Chains A and B, each alone.
Chain A
Amino acid sequence: MSWFTSTFTSSIGKKLVMSLAGLFLIIFLLVHLGINLMVLLENNMYFNKTAHFMGTNILIKIFEIVLFGGFIIHMIYALFLQIQNWLARPVRYKIENLTNQTSFFSKYMIHTSVVILVFLVIHLVDFYIKAKFIGDVSDVVYNGKEYHDLAALVEAKFLLGGAVIFYLIALLFLGFHLNHGFQSAFQTLGIDHKKYTPVIKFLGVIYSILVPLGYACIPLIIYFAK
């Protein structure tokens, strides 16, 4: 076996891929949030123009493939690792560990990820596929140029109470997932240091609260204010 294959099929190699893909997705979430928040602006033009740029720019289109790759790799490796983990203990304990010294969310990464995956599929159908492939989105004209009115699509969606509740629940689980995922990715990369690890852990907690909260305020504001 070549060094490359043996590295990336080993336990630590697979964990490395998981953590890098995870950190990549963590950065993506920030970019996505930044653009999303524009929909709250009084003038929808900014959001629609940015969405148009994100949907048509060639570099972004290439990066979109990388992004989907990141999601898929994160999921496939998670599945591989999880199956191995289940197989490693064929007979379960009758009474499981009740220790409270470990992080609560760290034990439920695969469970929270299932909720996030279901959300992701519905989310893609709600917006991405509708805008990109189905095309039943109304158009608006800015300076004589036509744009998809995606802001209207978002606003229509979040006037539905059911959609708002579903998004909020999904974001809660995303927060749980990130709470462990953020600092865990650094530990896996071997980044552990007396000076920096407390900072990373703190940033992880802040990130896992603020980012889902930032996403959550969009459906909430649209539902209650518009």
Chain B
Amino acid sequence: MDFKLKIWKQKNAGSKGKFVNYEVKGISSDTSFLEMLDILNEDLIYKGEEPVVFDHDCREGICGMCSLYINGYAHGPDAAITTCQLHMRKFKDGATITIEPFRARPFPVIKDLMIDRTALDTMIQAGGYTSAKTGGVPDANAILISKENSDLAMDAASCIGCGACVASCKNASAMLFVSAKVSQLALLPQGKPEAAERVLNMVAAMDEAGFGNCTNTGACEAECPKEIKITNIARLNREYFSASFASEL
């Protein structure tokens, strides 16, 4: 398969970027999207040109490192996958593919398609954890958790923090990410003691970082590789109201 690529090239956060056109030829339909970029880069290096910089790590959809906004979709035009799980058979032979970095003010471009997602870590540092000392291993049935809550918490915990929600949101809001982290802990007894403090601090960190505000369009859940639902955002709001109006913090 042959493809025409329109790739965003940008020297660093301070410089102005532009699209550069590339061509790749003879790509197998079983090639993953990132492997296709590897082939392009090998070709570029061979020709003495500068390769295209992009984020990647585990390449099996669990680390949250890969990103890319491909033809108008975060992680490309397929549901519930990361870019590393996208294959070239999803595209038509000879197609033009536009590749942009995830765009948001809190996600400055480091180089080309690589972005700085430290803002997500900053929000986790603000409260996305429990600080209780765990002690020894408790009895299996010492802490009772309903099946429903355990499932909901597990669903929320499947967030890999890739930032596709921010990238897909027309407002560059990080509320799906924050809501997943808040929900995952608020649903379980271990997370309850610090729930109020956590939600206040995480929302403050979110606003501080300069993310936009959710307008309930649902674009984030449509693009989330882990299919995190916006019911989590409703839970985030409830947690926030109860922390703001009912807790003594």
State the A residues within 8 Å of B (CB): 3, 6-7, 10-16, 81, 84-85, 87-99, 101-103, 106-107, 109, 180, 183-184, 187-192
Contacts and interface: CB of A to CB of B under 8 A. Distances in A.
Nearest to B219: A102
Interface of B: 6, 19, 69, 71-74, 98, 100, 103-106, 168, 170-173, 175, 203-204, 206-207, 210-219, 222-223, 230-231, 233-238, 240-241, 244-245, 249
Contact of A190 (B74, B100, B212, B241): B241
A190 B237 contact: yes
Nearest to B175: A11
Contact of B222 (A101, A107, A109, A188): A101
Contacts of B244: 3, 7, 13
A98 B245 CA distance: 39
Contacts of A102: 217-219, 222
A188 B173 CA distance: 14
28 contacts: A11-B175, A12-B237, A12-B241, A14-B213, A15-B213, A15-B214, A81-B213, A84-B171, A85-B172, A85-B173, A88-B210, A89-B172, A93-B103, A94-B19, A94-B98, A95-B71, A97-B170, A97-B219, A99-B222, A102-B217, A102-B219, A103-B217, A103-B218, A106-B217, A109-B215, A187-B216, A188-B214, A190-B235
Given A93-B72, A93-B103, A109-B215, A87 B238 contact: no
A87 B210 contact: yes
A87 B211 CA distance: 9
Nearest to B223: A99
Interface of B is mostly: mixed
B234 A190 contact: yes
A98 B213 CA distance: 21
Which 8 residue pairs spanning A and B have beta carbons closest together? A192-B234, A190-B238, A88-B212, A85-B171, A88-B172, A190-B237, A101-B222, A85-B212
